[in-house]
């Protein structure tokens, strides 16, 4: 008997690698059809291959979410292909190398604001309208522990992630009566290509992308009367090595 999720769609942004790929694969294993979005086709093709979903149940959308029209173009493509949206995972993000605020370029500032905050809000707004008409759905935003505690050189990045946490809590309050779950995952250090080699980090102690995907699935698979609005996930042991004496 087909899974009840077989006719349900999940949109995952930043799905070409790392956390986004792990989330997409976890959703595919649960039987969801996928709309996977990123800027690099080869990476998305690999995600689709790993998902083992046929082309009719997996849509690749090349999109730059910093483009003002990017979120709407992505959502329209998904609706044209599948006609519904059951899960939205706002995972795509951008973080330049740590840079003091007074040296941060306007281009990097604007890209962080667009990709990390404006695009998730736009996609959540469009998804919420469709989910309300369908009778419910799930929106999961991927934030960062930088929303709580951050290092020098990450002021704008931290602000975007803190804004995403606040947006999640406010939109949950607005959408809960429409049977729409809204949750934010707040992970600590995750071993992905976005974090370059660093002698101070013990990568073996960091979270894996699959750990974050498991938190996403905790939301997706939660009972109808429960919404885990915020899930913080940290490595059990601190990956930051102490500086030599």
Q: Are 211 and 142 in contact (CB under 8 A)?
A: no
pTM here is 0.94
Domains parsed from the chain with CATH numbers:
9-233 (3.40.50.720)
Catalytic residue of the set 157, 159, 212, 239: 157
Tokens of 195: 């974090």
Task: Supply the pLDDT for residue 72.
Answer: 98
Q: Report the C-alpha gap between 178 and 128 in whole angstroms.
A: 9
32 assigned to active site: no
Write the pLDDT tens digit of every residue in 111-168.
Answer: 999 999 999 999 999 999 999 999 999 999 999 999 998 789 999 999 999 999 999 9
Contact 126, 118 (CB under 8 A): no
188 vs 27, 39, 162, 191, 238, CA distance in Å? 22, 25, 14, 10, 10
| CA-wise closest residue to 118 among 181, 163, 180, 78 | 163
pLDDT at 6 over 60: no
């Amino acid at each position: 008997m087909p899974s009840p999720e077989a006719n349900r769609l999940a949109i995952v942004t930043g799905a070409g690698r790392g956390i986004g790929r792990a989330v997409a694969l976890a959703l595919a294993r649960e039987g969801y059809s996928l709309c996977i979005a990123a800027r690099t086709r080869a990476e998305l093709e690999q995600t689709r291959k790993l998902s083992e979903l046929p082309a009719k149940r997996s849509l690749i959308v090349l999109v730059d979410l910093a483009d003002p029209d990017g979120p709407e173009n992505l959502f329209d493509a998904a609706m044209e292909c599948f006609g519904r949206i059951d899960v939205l995972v706002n995972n795509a993000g951008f973080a330049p190398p740590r840079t003091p605020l007074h040296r941060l370029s306007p281009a990097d500032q604007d890209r962080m604001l667009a990709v990390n905050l404006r695009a998730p809000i736009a996609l959540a707004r469009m998804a919420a309208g469709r989910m309300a008409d369908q009778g419910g759905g799930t929106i999961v935003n991927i934030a960062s522990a930088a929303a709580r505690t951050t290092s020098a050189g990450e002021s704008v990045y931290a602000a975007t992630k803190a804004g995403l946490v606040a947006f999640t809590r406010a939109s949950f309050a607005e959408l809960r009566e429409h049977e729409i779950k809204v949750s934010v995952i707040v992970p600590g250090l995750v071993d992905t290509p976005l974090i370059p080699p660093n002698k101070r980090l013990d990568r073996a102690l960091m979270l894996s992308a699959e750990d974050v995907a498991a938190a996403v699935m905790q939301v997706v698979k939660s009972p109808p009367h429960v919404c885990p609005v915020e899930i913080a996930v940290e490595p059990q042991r601190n990956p930051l090595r102490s500086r030599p004496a």
